Amino acid sequence: MEKHIRKITGSDYEKFNKIANSAFEGLNADKWLENHIEETTKENLYGVFKDKNLLAGMRTFDFEMNYSSTPIRVGGVGMLAVDMLHKKEKNAYQLLQYFLNLNSDAKVNLVMLNPFKVSFYKKMGFGIGTKNYQFYLDPNEFPNYKEKSHLVELTVDERGQILDCYNRVYSRTHGMTKRFPFERELNRPFWFGRVIGYVIEGEVKGYFVYSIKEKDLHIHELFFESPDVIREFSTFLNSQSDQIKRVIINSNFDEILHFLDSPESGETTMVDFTSSPDYKHIANVGTGIMYRIINCSGFFEELKESNHIFNPSITISVKLAIEDDLFPINSLPFILDIKGGRIVDIKEDGPADVELRMNIAVFSSLVMGVDNANSYLKWGLMEISDVSYIKVINSLFQTDSKPMITKAF
């Protein structure tokens, strides 16, 4: 019997839950996954089968992402798990190819995932995204603004307002994905612990989710709409110093170090060299989401139809020559005509001011604003026909911030 891939349904759920729970400790998929998949229209499960045996499976997502103020469709894949008896049989690779083709057929031009091994996904054309920082902070280092009168503990009765607050933050944050009012999505903030909200005139303007374990306060989500909100959150955290040793928070950005009185973690893991000063450890750093463009010209066509504006001061014709072994259509050079930051034409041939050459992984990271073009040029990952245009290219693909992603998948 040949292997084949199809949706996981009915009695297949139990088989997939067993594989997923074995692959991801503490997942408990059997307690929630089937009902969630049946409820949402944004997720599906697919598996590799041989006869009736499930060899491997994955969970796919249909996201709406904020791409620098323009909403676009994005595919996601997670919970990729292989039965231990069927590893090293290319089942994961086959599922990922199926995932890419699903999105290509659906005219979804960008996909993303959390890597289990970066090199594996880079070979499949995925580019590295924003780093993740894990901070270990003394609560005394959060400034005390002596004001927290708007803070209340939120309950499931406010879950709709919490979702609205999240989506307002999403609407102005590059890289974030929209959340929809499905039951599990509405209940998400309450899985991890207590939810503290900033409420003014009956509206939630910010919230954070925390739990406490062995004198460490773990912040699982943190969103705020104004400086007033984070100041009251800061006062709250400062006031916990009699009970809490450390505040542990993950973030795509290191901006918090400017807000704190001191970001030092107290860890002593920095290596000292004789020629170096006494560096202070402030965070652990890890890889984050990886991105892949499936159809380069289709990606820009989607932005053109949405009237997306890059940098409004830029008018340029850019020829793009992208190397992509999995999707040969991307290896066909094309030209972007941009006027006043808007794409006015996408064509196969013609004159261009400058030509860029790189592989699809680097290009995916570039257009997501992970790093600027000069960085990729410096390390020999990109070629440019006329280096005098590098600052213009930097400005063209510059986003308000590096992409932020808060969705676990």
Pairwise CA distance, residues 22 & 94, whole Å: 20
What pLDDT digit, counting tens, does each position of 380-394 carry?
A: 999 999 999 999 999
With cut-offs at 50, 70 and 90, classify the pLDDT of residue 176: very high
Is 16 contained in some domain?
A: yes
Question: Which of 121, 74, 67 minimizes the C-alpha distance to 403?
Answer: 67
Predicted confidence at residue 130, as pLDDT, reads 95
Residue 101 lies in a domain: yes
pLDDT of residue 25: 87
Q: Which pLDDT belongs to residue 374?
A: 95
Q: Is residue 42 part of a domain?
A: yes
Regarding whether 324 and 267 lie in a shared domain, the answer is: no
CATH of the domain at 321: 3.30.1050.10
pLDDT exceeds 70 at position 95: yes
More confident residue, 6 or 35: 6
Residue 116 in domain: no
**What is the arithmetic mean of pLDDT over 294-308?**
97
Q: Where are the alpha helices (DSSP H) in 126-170?
A: 159-170
Indicate if 338 and 364 belong to the same structural domain: yes
Domain identity same for 309 and 247: no
pLDDT higher than threshold 90 for residue 1: no
Identify the pLDDT of residue 407: 78
The 10s digit of each residue's pLDDT in 134-152 is 999 999 999 999 999 999 9
Residues 147 and 236 in one domain: yes
> Could you give the number of structural domains in the chain?
3
> Does some domain include residue 124?
no
Separation in Å, CA 318 to CA 296, 350, 353, 384, 395: 13, 10, 6, 10, 13
Same domain, 246 and 323: no
- Per-residue confidence (pLDDT) for residue 277, from 0 to 100: 62
How many separate helices (H) and strands (E) can be counted in the chain?
A: 12, 19
In a domain, 113, yes or no: no
Is the model's pLDDT at 6 over the cut of 80? yes
Last residue in a domain, options 108, 123, 153: 108
Contact call for residues 291 and 110 (beta carbons, < 8 A): yes
| Structural domain ending residue among the three candidates 248, 270, 286 | 286
Residue 282 sits in the same domain as residue 301:
no
Name the band, by pLDDT with cuts 50, 70 and 90, for residue 343: very high
Residues 6+ apart with CB under 8 A from 54: 8, 12, 15, 16, 19, 47, 48, 83
> Whose CA is closest to 372, among 385, 386, 356?
356
* 377-391 burial code (b ≥16 CB/10 A, e <16): beeebbebeeeebbe
What's the half-sphere exposure (Cβ side, CA atoms, 13 Å) at 170?
Answer: 20
Q: How confident is the model over 26-43, as pLDDT tens digits?
A: 889 988 898 888 888 899
Q: 117 lies in a domain? A: no
Q: Tell whether 189 and 63 lie within a shared domain.
A: no
CATH number of the domain at 152, please.
Answer: 3.40.630.30
Query: What whole-number distance in Å separates Cα of residue 238 and Cα of residue 36?
Result: 38
Q: What is the pLDDT of residues 249-298, one digit of tens each?
A: 999 989 999 999 998 888 877 766 655 567 888 899 999 899 999 999 99
Residues 222, 343 within the same domain: no
Domain boundary among 68, 90, 108: 108
pLDDT at 162 exceeding the cut of 90: yes
Cα–Cα distance, 182 to 27 (Å, whole number): 20
Domain of residue 387, residue span: 293-396
Main-chain dihedrals φ then ψ at residue 14, nearest 5 degrees: -60, -40
Which among 190, 252, 241 has a CA at the least distance from the CA of 217? 241
Q: Measured between alpha carbons, how far is 58 from 402 in angstroms, rounded to an integer?
A: 28
Does residue 120 form part of some domain? Answer: no
What pLDDT was estimated at residue 272? 66
Lowest mean pLDDT: which of 59-68, 356-365, 399-408?
A: 399-408
d(CA 228, CA 226): 5
Average pLDDT over the chain, rounded to whole?
Answer: 94
Classify the C-alpha dihedral 114-328-375-173 as positive or negative: negative
CB atoms within 10 A of CB 23: 18
- 231 vs 237: CA distance, rounded Å: 10
Mean pLDDT of 41-68: 95
* pLDDT value of residue 116: 87
Q: How confident is the model at residue 61 (pLDDT cuts 50, 70, 90)?
A: very high
142 and 224 in a single domain? The answer is yes
How is residue 98 written in tokens? 């199926």
Element (H, E) at 366: helix 360-367
Same domain, 331 and 301: yes
Residues 307, 279 share a domain: no
Same domain, 250 and 146: yes
